[in-house]
Structure formats: C-alpha cells, structure tokens
A and B are shown apart, each in its own frame.
Chain A
Amino acid sequence: MLNLAKEKLTEMFRKMLEIRFFEEKVFDLYAQNLVPGTIHLYTGEEAVAVGVCAALEKTDYVTSTHRGHGHCIAKGADLKRTMAEILGKRTGYCKGKGGSMHIADFSIGMLGATAVVGAGMPIAVGAGLSIKLRKTRQVVACFFGEGASNQGTFHEGINMASIWRLPVIFICENNLYAMGTHQSRVMNIENIADRALAYGIPGVIADGNDVLAVYEKALQAVERARKGEGPTLIECKTYRHKGHSRVDPAKYRPKAEVEEWLAKDPIKRFKEKLLQEGVLIQVEVQKIEREVAAEIEEAVKYAMESPYPAPEEALEDVYA
C-alpha cells in the first residue's frame, strides 16, 4: 500500500467519502419526499467503484447499473449535476430524462447506467470492440451485480469479449442479494469468478470491502487488457448497507450477517489503515471529511435551486 503515493491514496479515500456522504444525503432527501421515483444506494460498496476507477484513466470507459451513483462519482462525475439529475432537474446530467437509474457523462467515459439487469454487458463489449477497431489503448470496466450473472447477456457478452480478446474488465459486485433473493437460492456455486472458466478467461476474487485489494486486481486486469490479452472477470465480495431500493428494510437478511458486514465497512477499514500506517493523520482525515461534507451540501443546494425542465422538453432528444 505504501508503494502508492499519498496523493493517490488520499484521492481514493476522498472518493469513497464522496460516495458515502452523497448516498446518505440522497437517503435523507428521499425521506423528505424530495426525490421522485426510487433509489438504489451504493452505501457499503464504495471500495469496488473506487478501487476499479482508480486503476482507470479518464479516457477509459465504464458501464453501470441501477445502483450506479457510486460508479459515476468514482469515475469523476460532477456531484452537482449528478444530484440534480436524481432530483429530476434541468441541470442534471440527462436534463431530468434519466434520473437515479440512468446517469451518464460521456465526457469522462461514463457510458451510462442501464436499469435492465445484465443489459450493460454486451454494451461494454461493444465499447471494447470499438476500442479494438479504432486502435486506441482504452479499456472498459463493466459493473454488474451477482444477480446479473444469471442473465443470458452475461454469457453472450463475456464469451464474445473472450473470443475477440477485447479490453473489457467485468466487475461483479457480489453483494449476496438480488433484491431479496440470496445468491444460494439462485445458483449452486459460491464464487461468480468460477464462471470465468467457461469462457477461457481469468476469474479472480477480491475482497470488495478493501479498496486496495480491488485496486490491485483491477490494475492487473487493466494491464492485461491494454496489452491485448483480453478480458478478466473480477468478483468483488461486498455488501450493501441499505436495502435494495427506497425504504426496503431488508428484513430478509439475518441480523448477525448485517452486523458482520457493517463491521467490515470499507471506509472505516481504509481510514484505519491510512491512520495506522501514517499516510494521514487524524486532522487530515477530519479536514477531508469536512471538505467532502461541504461539497455534498453544495451539490444539494445546486440541485434544489435548479429548475425543473419545461414539460414540453419531454418531446426532445428522441432522435438525433
């Protein structure tokens, strides 16, 4: 870990905090009835998005899911425009047409979140093919949950990426539950990474609550992809702190299990490590926390003060 510059480690910590504070704020706003529709919070899984995106460059691509706020923020999306989109405002990334489940920022390679489970996989593979045909050195990180690995698109997409040796990194965020369905009820294997064998690609497991572990695996996969050696499947074992969506109290999860995972909170762990190893001192941590909290407040203020789109804007952007 100390091989990484303090600057890099601090940035990773900051990004994780941005996601955590952002999601907590979204939850608050939702409770106040200020967020239309539904929300799927990334709280608890921050180490995955941040660990992966820390291994990417700005021009690299990511594809995201219904639980996508974290991927956006980790890839460098503007907090104000992200929050504005979630509140349905004109100033949001998608001018209020997408909402929480459909945020994209093509200027930073964030190719967007699809709310159809598993649908992002072939799209990520297509971006990978595009990279190969255009002969650039970009890579694609494709995020999805363990539930999506039961979709046909998982099979079709990874197989195609494998036979064409495309620069795609498949990131499975295994948080154990697809809505309320525990993994053990829908597959007879424990490790999604094992499925890589069927496609002739490496399948690796990372502690998804350890940002440096995720970063290390992602970096190896990125290097492999840039060398033209093809895709990697990385399974990150993690857990969502909140329910599936909205006010889901997640009663289907045993209390002991929840407590066990809360104790493994990725931010708490990373913070302790940074302090223990002397990368940061307590006052520096507090300063970062204050700064991030202020940034989130600013994003909320911006989003709240932004206007809604004019109703007839609903008719725009159907065709190019």
Chain B
Amino acid sequence: MRKIAYREALREALREEMRRDPTVFLLGEDIGKYWGGAFKVTEGLAEEFGEERVRDTPISESAIIGVGVGAAITGMRPVAEIMFGDLTALAMDQIANQAAKIRYMFGGQVKCPLVIRTPFGAGVNIAAHHSQSLEAWFMHVPGLYVAVPSTPYDAKGLLKSAIRGNNPVIFCEHKLLYPVEGEVPEEQYTVPFGVADIKREGEDATIVATLYMVHKALEAAKTLEKEGVSVEVVDPRTLTPLDKQTIINSVKKTGRIVIVSEDCKTAGVSAEIAAIIAEEAIDYLDAPIKRVAEPDTPIPFSPPLEQYVIPDEKAIIKAVKEVV
C-alpha cells in the first residue's frame, strides 16, 4: 500500500470532503494560499477551492470558532483551524459554552457540525504557550467529541467522519506526527468514532496510549518483547466517545494496565481512563493501574528540561515492568 504523511492524509480528507460536499469550508489563520497553514496541512487547497472556501481570518480565535458555530447551525459544515492547541483557550467560551451546548439548551432543535482542528503536543522546543496537550479539557465538556488520531490512516478516516458527523469535534492533531508516514489506501474510507484500534496485540500487559504516545508505546513494546514481555497497545482513537469495551476487554486478557498520555497527570486523560478501569474492571487486574503522564508543570523551553517532562520509552518500559 502507498505511504503518505499524516499531514497529507489530513489534506486528502479535507480535499475529498470539500469536493463531495459544497457546504464544507475551512477557516483559520494563514490557512490560505499565502501560507497553507502553519503546519502546511491546508497547502494547495485555496488554489483548488478558492479563498471563499479556504478562508484566511484575522487573529481572532474566539470569532473563528463563533463564526464556525453560526455557520454550522445555519446549514454549513465548517472546519476551523486553531493554529496551536494552546490557543483554544482564547476561544473557550465559544467551544465549551456555545458549540457544545447549543443543541442541548435549545432542546435538540439544531445540529452543530463544526470541526475544530488543532495541534497539541510538546517536543519542538517552543515552550509553554505552544506545546500543551489539553485533550482532557474537552473531554470534560458534554456535547463535544474529541478525536486523537495517531496514524495517517486514522487521521484521514477520522477527519472525514468528523466532517460528515453532526456534532462539534475537537480534532486533536500532534505536531510531531505531521511528517510521520503510514499506509493509507488510495480508495476512500472513513474511520468511525468510538472504536478503538489495537495497534499491537499482546498477552502480558495492556498499554493505552493516544497520539504521539502510541508510537512511543509501540517502540517500548518492541523492546519489551525482546525481554520476553508481550504488550498489547490499545489506541482509543477518540476520547469522546471512548471505546471503553475494547480497553476493558484488553485488561481482561492481560490483567495489567499502563496508561500513557502526554497531558498532565492530574485530572487528565490517564486519570479518566484509570477511573473507568477501577470502576468497571478492577476484578480483572493482577496489579495496580499505572500511569505515565507529564508531571504537573507547564512545558519548559530548554531541550533537557522539555525532554524531562515528556513521557518517554524508558518511563513506559519501567511502568510495564512494575506491573508484570
């Protein structure tokens, strides 16, 4: 099968959906023909679809999302790009109070098919305002879906599902994943929300990981395999809705669980998944739940500082060894 990069897979999803459905349009800062998006995801799309449908905006995150909401409730399918995930904070009212609640508080009268694409993640030395992993913020808001694709295949298929769906989606990308290549078929497909993917099968322990951490978990699993430990890697692919069953089934099989997440440990993605396992699958566990996550600090700038806080393969291996 052909291999393409994560950013190309995202671009293909946008292109295919824009060709298929004239109500799909893009808006965001510098996504058009002069720049093509800070991470080049939308490069070339303004040339094909024009500046009306690939719309450069002022630096106004709150209005970017608010405009997306207004367009979504009046028949359009906007895909908004927020240049860095950290900047969703500027649009939080529009995301959490408007997009997420507009259907519910109006008694189901309206749909809000708004996709918000944004890159999270640390590892490129751009410090505290451009490196966070804030997926858990959005998991805490009913009415939002949260997608966390780790591969080009999932990125393309999930983005297409997000655009075709009828709910607001926080589509979390990871800035280290944009150049990462993977197999993506030529023919069209979608990946459904709420269906986890077992990225690697194993017997002795389960690792649940998302986004870039999936790749670190797979590396760790390879290393552990050489030491005789068979690890299963489960990638939820969407955090809301969360495929609890696949996670629990894996725990039933292995009896051991390590949750790896790039966000802060406190009240984060790993905390939620740990709570679900504790509540619904504790009887299957042969060892305590382990979490590998960032310490509760902002992301620092200097390379040794930054590397210290990002969960790495070593930490994952250590955690698995503690439970097997």
Give the contacts of A52-68 with B (CB-CB under 8 A): 61, 63
List chain B residues, Cβ under 8 A from A95: 107-108
Q: Smallest Cβ distance from B109 to chain A, in angstroms?
A: 5
CB 8 Å contact bits of A104-123 with B (1 = contact, 0 = none)? 11100001101010010111
Interface range, B side: 35 or more
A153 within 8 A of B: yes
A318 within 8 A of B: yes
B103, A126: Cβ atoms closer than 8 Å: no
Q: Smallest Cβ distance from A157 to chain B, in angstroms?
A: 5
List chain A residues, Cβ under 8 A from B113: 320
List chain B residues, Cβ under 8 A from A163: 58
B1 within 8 A of A: no
B108, A156: Cβ atoms closer than 8 Å: no
A160 within 8 A of B: yes
B98, A156: Cβ atoms closer than 8 Å: no
A192 within 8 A of B: no
Residue from B62, B66, B142 whose CB has the most chain A CB atoms within 10 Å: B66
A318, B66: Cβ atoms closer than 8 Å: no
A125 within 8 A of B: yes
Q: Smallest Cβ distance from A89 to chain B, in angstroms?
A: 11
Closest to B240 in A: A319
B97 within 8 A of A: yes
B74, A127: Cβ atoms closer than 8 Å: yes
List chain A residues, Cβ under 8 A from B74: 61, 111, 126-127, 130-131, 134
Interface range, A side: 35 or more
A126, B70: Cβ atoms closer than 8 Å: yes
B68, A116: Cβ atoms closer than 8 Å: no
Closest to B68 in A: A126
A177 within 8 A of B: no
A125, B63: Cβ atoms closer than 8 Å: yes
CB 8 Å contact bits of B285-315 with A (1 = contact, 0 = none)? 0000000000000000000000000000000
Residue from A114, A122, A129 whose CB has the most chain B CB atoms within 10 Å: A122
B62, A133: Cβ atoms closer than 8 Å: no
Closest to A112 in B: B106
B76, A112: Cβ atoms closer than 8 Å: no
B176 within 8 A of A: no
A128, B70: Cβ atoms closer than 8 Å: yes
Give the contacts of B98-112 with A (CB-CB under 8 A): 98, 102-112
Closest to A97 in B: B107
Select B70's contact among A124, A155, A156, beta carbons within 8 Å: A124
Q: Smallest Cβ distance from A199 to chain B, in angstroms?
A: 11
Select A104's contact among B98, B110, B143, beta carbons within 8 Å: B110
Give the contacts of A2-29 with B (CB-CB under 8 A): none
List chain A residues, Cβ under 8 A from B69: 122-123, 126
Q: Smallest Cβ distance from A141 to chain B, in angstroms?
A: 13
List chain B residues, Cβ under 8 A from A131: 74
Q: A92-B107, A98-B107, A320-B167 are in contact. Are A160 and B53 (CB under 8 A)?
A: no
List chain A residues, Cβ under 8 A from B93: 116, 119, 153
B106, A93: Cβ atoms closer than 8 Å: yes
Q: A129-B70, A130-B71 are in contact. Are A122 and B107 (CB under 8 A)?
A: no
Closest 6 CB pairs of A and B: A126-B70, A122-B66, A94-B107, A156-B63, A317-B108, A156-B60
Which residues on B are within 8 Å of A, measured CB to CB? 23, 25, 52-53, 57-58, 60, 62-63, 65-76, 78, 93-94, 97-98, 102-113, 142-143, 145, 165-167
Which residues on A are within 8 Å of B, measured CB to CB? 61, 63, 92-98, 102, 104-106, 111-112, 114, 116, 119, 121-134, 152-153, 155-157, 159-160, 163, 316-320
**11 more A-B contacts (CB under 8 A) besides A98-B107, A112-B105, A320-B112?**
A97-B107, A104-B110, A111-B70, A116-B98, A122-B66, A126-B70, A127-B73, A133-B23, A134-B76, A156-B60, A320-B166
